[in-house]
Every structure is written in C-alpha cells, then in structure tokens.
Amino acid sequence: MKLAVCLKLVPATTADIRVAADGKSLQLAGLETIISAYDEYALEAALKLRESAAGSSITAFTAGPEECLKCIQHAFALGVDSGVHVKATSIDGATAARAAAALFKDALPDVILCGRQGIDDDQWFFPGALAELLDIPHVTGVSALMLAPDGTSAQCRRRIEGGDQVIEVFLPAVISCDKGLNEPRAPTLKGRLDAKKKQALVKTPAELGISGESSVLRISAYSPPPQKNTGRTIELAPAQAAAEVVRLLREEAKII
C-alpha cells in the first residue's frame, strides 16, 4: 500500500505573533515553528496503517520555504520512507494543493492523510482542494479509521453534533485527521540519527508545472484583536459593593 502524509510548518501556539507595519502581513521571522498539531495525527495514522499492511511505504509532503524541511526531517525520524519538499518563498493552501496534486497524480497513493486544518489560518482548505484536483473522494475530521481487510476501502468515524457519523470510503482517497484519532509518537534517538542519512526530494512549483497566479486568497489587512477591558475594582463594604455591581450591570452594561 502506498501512503502519503501532508505536513505544514506553522508558528508555535506560544509564539508572540504581531501584525507587520504594512498591516497586510505578520511578523513571523525568528518565531518558533512546529508541525501543525492535526498533521501530527495524520503522520501517526500513516505509521499505524503501514504497520498493519506489510510492504507499505510512506511519502511525506510539505510545501513552503527552506525551514519547512523541518517537517520532513521529523517524519524521517519517525521512520517515514521518503519525503518531498516543494520549495517556495511564499505559498498558500491553493498553491500547496496544486503542488501536491501534480506530485501525486502519476503515482496516486492509496491513502493521502492530512491534518483536519492548519492551526495557523484554520482554513480547512487543503484536503478538499487536493481531493478535487485528484478527482478522488475525501473524508474530513476523522476521529477513528479502520482499513478493510482487502485494502480497497476504509471505514471512517467522524464526530458530529449529537453523535458519530460512520463513512465507508473507497480508495484511493484523501482523509483528514482530527484530535483523538491516535496518540502521536515521539522520535527515538536512533530514529533521529537515521533521519540524518535521508534526503528529501526538493522541487519547485515550476518543475511541477505550476505557473501563473494560482492563489485564490487575498489578504486585505490584518488587525490585532481589540484591547480587553482591564476591569474595575470596587473598594466598598460588601453590601455597598453588591449594590454598586447591580447598578453597573443595569445602567452601564445594560444586561439586567
């Protein structure tokens, strides 16, 4: 079975992200970066599928600037067989999907695994776009995954309001992974050392036949969230403080 997993490098959730002076970009230089959390579940799902189907192989895919190779190196440290980095200074979900589709179309994997969404922009765009470009089915937000014994289909469970939804999808297919699907493993020391012996295949969008304007997203402006109210301290006796709180809720907040 041929497996592929798509990985995105994003700013760490603890990073202090600020709007740049032009108001149309973010100050990301020097920030700590990590693999998008949902992509970690996709990577672990690929490893588990390979373990359950003898002779399977995994290709890791990422797109973006040089530092995105960090995703491939992490995948190598976990034992992924090969990796491809589509190198571009700036790349959005639409271009990344086109790059992945161009890469996979001639040797289509049986299962392409992605994270449910990137935790930087939360667009939910890439998995569906990739599936449409490849003209194969996709299931989003999968929290349980089981391959059929004959390897021709997969049973996917999704959380929906009030219960679970079970979907059977025929392969090849794109499956995006949600929290709870598994517990991502950490690389071992041996895995890290072995990763240093592997090299990712580096491509440019042009080499994949992607030229011209492929972006469908325009950023008009970024703005920081409004400043939070610092609150008010009422330094009165308890009975008077309670009366003042009621007055403020009625006359200023107007919620009672």
Which tokens in the block code for residue 197?
């012996």
Lowest mean pLDDT among 11-15, 81-85, 150-154: 11-15
Task: Give pLDDT tens digits for 184-232.
Answer: 999 999 999 999 999 999 998 889 888 655 566 777 888 877 777 777 8
pLDDT at 226: 79
Which tokens in the block code for residue 72?
């491939």
CA distance 202 to 253: 58
Q: What mean pLDDT do residues 3-21 have?
A: 88
pLDDT at 215: 64
pLDDT at 213: 52
pLDDT at 210: 83
Q: What mean pLDDT do residues 55-62 have?
A: 94
Cis peptide before 65 (omega within 30 of 0): no
Domains, the chain, in order of start with CATH, read 2-208 (3.40.50.620), 227-256 (no CATH)
CA distance 131 to 112: 9
pTM, rounded to two decimals: 0.82
Contact 103, 200 (CB under 8 A): no
pLDDT at 201: 94
